[in-house]
Homo-oligomer: A and B are copies of this chain.
Amino acid sequence: MHTHLLVASLTILFSCLPAGAAPLLTGTSEGMRYEVDKVVEGLDIPWGMTFLGDTELLFTEKNGRISILDTTSGKVKILRTSITVFDRGQGGLLDVAGEPGYKTGDWLYFTYSRPQGNKAATTLARARLSGDQLIDWSDLLVTRPAAGADHHFGSRIAFDGRGHLFFSIGDRGERENGQDLASHAGSILRLNLDGSVPDDNPFIAGGGLTEIWSYGHRNPQGLVYDLAHERLWSNEHGPRGGDEINLIQRGGNYGWPTVSHGMEYWGPVAVGEATRKEGMIDPLKVYIPSIAPGSLLLYDGAAFPRWRGNLFSGALKLRHLNRVVLDDAGTPVQEERLLGDLNERIRALAESPEGWIYCSTDSGGMYCIRPALPSIERLTR
């Protein structure tokens, strides 16, 4: 009898091993069911991700490794590189991005924390892919000043499709950098694709570093250019409370640390003079408490049509995937928190050609979010 029950148990156990496994997590958003599954684990912190083609997802790890996931086979190919990164605290190898319409052999752009003696500086570089190797690596801009702090490096990259790129950099741990136009820290920068400075940048005629496009930022770790509406979105970490989503304007001052919606870490004291001030641009959305956004994606895929035009960001502290709906004018009007059940610090996001969302986590994993099929509809003739 014991044996029979044991056999029964094993039978049940093995009959449960399906032809394809059931998804790890399912949910519904805007009436669309989705499934979440893990695709990679055992990584360092995968920080930046970008699709190179239909099935090639290039990603960085904070420790300096650069790899390609074949999303069809699930296999990861580690590329040969010879870069050295300041892999401490929030520092390391950060974002990677190719221009819209990237083809093999085109430039790939990276941001990383470049060691400068005992200090480090957020740096923009580019390189090209040749087989399983990154060649022609060159630094396009080593931002100034280098700092000893191991936090607030930024940094994300975005392209406007007209020959320019933007990249973000945090205040490098010195909040005064936010309002200092003689420092790159606490700014979003704009360059030509070869690293030169566009002659229509806002401070080209004096008054600040010529690379600066906007300033008064604390630690912008999400940056995305909406090609259809020709507008640049960023999100950033507030101090304690006061994470922001901003629509970035040329030459704009976003207020840090003069104005903020956040509190000091050490006590119930607001940071700055107020939450707003004339001449400083208000965020379009504020998160209190902080979610700690690690990325920003403007969804545009076919797989989840009712998510189109929504802003997604990975949330590190309040572990979830944050979805923000914009109205026609671009004003955030609705927020949803997805994937909380994973209990993961969600870092980078990438949209696949078919519109699935890949996200990485600080525990070294990578997940895929894709549409679920509804249950069978049974009709009669």
* Residues of chain A having any CB pair with chain B under 8 Å: 1-2, 5-6, 8-9, 12-13, 16, 18-26, 31-33, 35, 37-44, 53-55, 61, 63, 69, 71-76, 301-303, 305-306, 352-355, 364, 368, 370-381
Complex interface: chain B residues within 8 A of A23 (CB):
18-20
A39 CB contact (under 8 Å) in B32, B37, B305, B373: B373
Complex interface: chain B residues within 8 A of A41 (CB):
376-379
A379 CB contact (under 8 Å) in B35, B42, B305, B375: B42
Are B376 and A31 in contact (CB-based, < 8 A)? no
CB pairs A–B below 8 angstroms (24 shown)? A9-B12, A12-B13, A13-B16, A18-B23, A19-B22, A20-B23, A20-B35, A20-B372, A21-B22, A31-B72, A39-B373, A39-B377, A40-B378, A42-B380, A44-B381, A54-B305, A63-B381, A72-B371, A73-B374, A74-B374, A74-B377, A302-B302, A302-B352, A303-B354
CA A88 – CA B19 in complex, angstroms? 39
CA A16 – CA B9 in complex, angstroms? 12
CA A63 – CA B379 in complex, angstroms? 14
Shortest beta-carbon distance from A372 to chain B in Å: 5
Complex interface: chain B residues within 8 A of A42 (CB):
378-381
Q: Which of A5, A20, A26, A72 has the most CB of B within 10 A?
A: A20
CA A1 – CA B3 in complex, angstroms? 11
CA A370 – CA B374 in complex, angstroms? 13
Complex interface: chain B residues within 8 A of A43 (CB):
379, 381
Chain A interface, DSSP helix/strand/loop, else mixed: loop
CA A306 – CA B164 in complex, angstroms? 33
Are B302 and A354 in contact (CB-based, < 8 A)? yes
CA A76 – CA B378 in complex, angstroms? 9
Shortest beta-carbon distance from A34 to chain B in Å: 9
Are A376 and B303 in contact (CB-based, < 8 A)? no
Are B379 and A39 in contact (CB-based, < 8 A)? no
Complex interface: chain B residues within 8 A of A5 (CB):
2, 5-6, 9
Complex interface: chain B residues within 8 A of A12 (CB):
9, 12-13, 16
CA A324 – CA B9 in complex, angstroms? 44
* Identical copies in the complex: 2
Are A353 and B18 in contact (CB-based, < 8 A)? no
Shortest beta-carbon distance from A39 to chain B in Å: 6
Are A374 and B72 in contact (CB-based, < 8 A)? yes
Are A373 and B74 in contact (CB-based, < 8 A)? yes
Shortest beta-carbon distance from A119 to chain B in Å: 25
CA A1 – CA B377 in complex, angstroms? 41
Given A8-B9, A302-B354, A26 contacting B33 (CB threshold 8 A): no
Complex interface: chain B residues within 8 A of A53 (CB):
305
By beta carbon, the residue of chain B nearest A370 is B373
Complex interface: chain B residues within 8 A of A39 (CB):
373-374, 376-377
Shortest beta-carbon distance from A303 to chain B in Å: 4
Complex interface: chain B residues within 8 A of A379 (CB):
40-43, 76
CA A373 – CA B39 in complex, angstroms? 7
Are B76 and A377 in contact (CB-based, < 8 A)? yes
By beta carbon, the residue of chain B nearest A378 is B42
Are A354 and B301 in contact (CB-based, < 8 A)? yes
Q: Which of A23, A61, A379 has the most CB of B within 10 A?
A: A379
Are A22 and B25 in contact (CB-based, < 8 A)? no
Are A375 and B19 in contact (CB-based, < 8 A)? no
CA A167 – CA B201 in complex, angstroms? 58
Are A302 and B54 in contact (CB-based, < 8 A)? yes
Given A74-B377, A353-B302, A20 contacting B19 (CB threshold 8 A): no
